Amino acid sequence: GEYYLVQSRVLMVQGRYTIDKRWPKASVMTGFAVGGAVMRGHRLVFENNDGVAAVLYDGKPILEEFPSSFNDDVISSRFDKTVSSHKRAKNKQGYLFLLPNGVTLAVLQYQSKYIDLTITSPRFPGKWEGHCGNFNGDKTDDTADAMLGRGAKADVEEGDSMFVTHAPNTKSPDLDISDCDPKARQMAEESCDGLDNQNHYDACVFDVCLTGDPELEADEEDLEELAEGWWVHRLVDKPVQVKRGTFLGKVQGLEEFELDL
C-alpha cells in the first residue's frame, strides 16, 4: 500500500510498500513520491521494480543512464557511485536528490525490489506527521500505538496518491519480537552486534529478525543485506524506536552510509 512518510504543507513524501515472498512477515519499501510546497508544483517519483529503478520528474523519465545527473531551477539530482559507500548498494550505485530549502533524499537500490531511503530536512513551521514521526523532538510520542492513534499510519487515499499509478493496498500484520524464529533471531543478533547503543541494537535485531524467512535460513547473504540496509534507518542522530515500520532521520557522520554532497 501507500503511506505518508512525511506529511506537511511544505514537504510531502509518500512511500509505497509491498510484501516480498522471501520475507512474508514484513513489508518492504519499493518506491516513494515527493510533493508539497518545497517542490513548487513539481512531482518526483522513484520506483524500484525487481531491481530496475525508474525515476520520474513530472511524469518524464530522468537519470536513466549511469552515471547521469538532472538539474533545473527546483532540484539537483544525480545517479552515480559517489552517493553512498554502503557495500550492499547495488553496484555501489545510489541516487541523491537535493531539493530547495535544505531538503535531501538519498536512495540505496538493492538487487531485489526494495530500497532504503534517507530523508534530511529542516523543521518547517506547521503540522508534521507520517511514518517518520511528528518531528517535535520527543521520541516517546512516535511509538506505533501513538502514531496509529493520531492517524499517522493510515493509508494514502487513492485520490491523494502522488504516484503515477496507484497500487492496491496490501496490509501486513503488526509484529513483535516474539514472532521471530529463534534461528533467525540468533542470526539477527550476530549481524547487529557492535552497534553503538542499546536502542540501535534492539531496533536492528527486530528489523533483521522479522524480515528473515525461516525457510530460507541458509541464505545468510540476504539477511546480512537486510541488516546493513536497516542500519541506514536506525543509525541516526536521535533514533526513534517504533514497533513496525521505518524511521528515516538525520544522518550525521555515519560510517555505514555517508552522503557526498
pTM score > 0.85 for this model?
Answer: no
- Residue 87's pLDDT band (cuts 50, 70, 90): low
Residue 261 included in any domain? no
pLDDT value, residue 104: 92
Q: What is the pLDDT of residues 133-147, one digit of tens each?
A: 778 777 777 777 777
pLDDT at 240 over 70: no
SS (H, E, C) the chain: CEEEEEECCCCEEEEEEEECCCCCCCEEEEEEEEECHHHCCCCEEEEEECCEEEEEECCEEECCCCCEEEECCCCEEEEECCCCCCCCCHHHCEEEEEEHHHEEEEEEECCCCCEEEEEECCCCCCCCECCCCCCCCCHHHCCHHHHHHCCCCCECCHHHCCCCCCCCCCCCCCCCHHHCCHHHHHHHHHHHCCCCCHHHHHHHHHHHHHCCCHHHCCCHHHHHHHHHHHHHHHCCCCCCCCCCCCCCCCCCCCCCCCCCC
Say how many domains are in the chain.
Answer: 2
Q: Which of 160, 189, 212 is the last residue of a domain?
A: 160
Identify whether 250 is part of a domain.
no
The CATH number of residue 142's host domain is: 3.40.1000
The whole domain housing 201 covers: 177-234
Top mean pLDDT of 43-47, 172-176, 186-190 is at 43-47
Instruction: With respect to residue 105, please indicate whether it lies within any of the assigned structural domains.
Output: yes
* pLDDT band, residue 62 (cuts 50/70/90): very high
User: 53 and 119 in one domain?
Assistant: yes
